Amino acid sequence: MRIVYFLLVFSFLFSCNNSESNNQNSQQRTRDEQTESKKELTEEYSNDEFGFSLKYLSEFRLLESQLPGESPVINIYAPQEGLAPPFAIHEDPKIAYIAVLPKGFGVEEPSGSKKNFSSWQPQDPIEIPLDKAESKAYLLKNGKAWAYYLKPRALPENWESYGGIFVHFRIKAFEAECFDADGKAKNMKTCDPMGSDRISFSGDIDEDAKNKLLRILNSFELRSSKKDDISEWIRLEEPLPNKDITSPLKIRGKAKGNWFFEADAPVQLLNKDFDTIAESYISAKGAWMTTDFVDFEGQIEFDAPDDERGYLVLKKANPSGLPENDRQYRIPVIFPPK
């Protein structure tokens, strides 16, 4: 009898200790999640050409690039091994990213279940004013959104009418199934979603990565109009966007005379994280004290970074230092492999 009593007491104490340990672990996870959710969006990005700005977490990466057909894309994504940006709308389910597509995506939209926001209420807080008829949610079998295509109600200048923002959440344990017109399962290799077949996706959304993307999304500021069109200030002839560059890089083009001060204007070369690699200047050829376009040229020497992509930035000379007088023209460039 004493043995039974002892075992009962021991079992009770072990259960209490185990419960207390589980509670402590649960509380620690909650504290970790709260700490993660309070991380500040420390990185800032502004795009004058397409009239928007945003903030993002330092652990994310931002890339300006082009899709096939010279369609511009700006990606904000969580880095992981094996990624090959730029990202559009048909990507690996494990990737968490945002694709800003000012000119649209130019391909068929994702397969599977989808609903527009006119008939479906998003479960996530989205602060951007949207065209609900054109904005869509792409859904898993359980009804949760694995991606959004968001059409702002008021598009910034230089966006095409089919431009928008694609938000792709990371999906764990992803599976795709195909069904024919009669609802019978079908091999994915012979599936024809463009015909009568239907695709269904299932999996679990990575909530932590999702919340980070939503915080970045809700930091977007879209400007319906810009100060002016940058092409009315400067026109770059060499180098061209998304082309290989080598050192020394020759730079030439035309700019209005008031782009310069004392006939010069600054130039920067940045890596993919917008860190400065090299600085130089361009010089006006001939008389620069005019409001007309004048030819310019210059060059910049640099040591190529390990990363393949970067940016060339031409800045308007601004001796006053006043922010309202700032202008810049930026293009993506490709560094030679080491």
Q: For residue 267, what are its two tokens?
A: 């130039």
- Expressed in angstroms, the distance from the first to the final Cα of the chain is 79
Which amino acid appears at position 214 of this protein?
Answer: L
User: Is pLDDT at 35 greater than 90 in this prediction?
Assistant: no
pLDDT (0 to 100) of residue 95 = 97
User: Is pLDDT at 309 greater than 50 in this prediction?
Assistant: yes
Cross-strand partners of 74: 64, 100
pTM value is 0.61
**pLDDT tens, position by position, 172-195:** 999 999 999 999 999 999 998 878
Angle at CA of residue 100, ends 130 and 207, nearest 5° = 75
pLDDT (0 to 100) of residue 25 = 52
Span 129-146, average pLDDT: 93
User: Looking at the domain covering 230-334, what would its CATH class be?
Assistant: mainly beta
Confidence bin at 12 (pLDDT 50/70/90): very low
Confidence bin at 20 (pLDDT 50/70/90): low
**pLDDT tens, position by position, 74-124:** 999 999 888 989 999 999 999 999 999 998 887 788 999 999 998 888 888
pLDDT (0 to 100) of residue 14 = 44
CA pair distance 285, 296, nearest whole angstrom: 5
Q: What is the mean pLDDT of the chain?
A: 86
- Domain positions in the chain: 45-222, 230-334
User: Is pLDDT at 259 greater than 90 in this prediction?
Assistant: yes
Bridge pairing between strands 145-150 and 136-139: antiparallel
Confidence bin at 10 (pLDDT 50/70/90): very low
Lowest mean pLDDT among 19-28, 135-144, 308-317: 19-28
pLDDT exceeding 70 applies to what percent of the chain? 87
Could you write out the DSSP letters of every residue in 268-282? EEEETT--EEEEEEE
Q: Give the residue among 109, 105, 98 at the shortest CA–CA distance from 66.
A: 105
Q: Which residue reads 């002016």 in tokens? A: 228
Q: Higher model confidence: residue 130 or residue 100?
A: 100
**pLDDT tens, position by position, 140-153:** 999 999 999 999 98
pLDDT (0 to 100) of residue 23 = 52
User: Is pLDDT at 130 greater than 60 in this prediction?
Assistant: yes
Confidence bin at 326 (pLDDT 50/70/90): confident
Q: For residue 234, what are its two tokens?
A: 């400067």
CA dihedral defined by 48, 53, 58, 62, rounded to 10 degrees? -50
User: Is pLDDT at 18 greater than 60 in this prediction?
Assistant: no
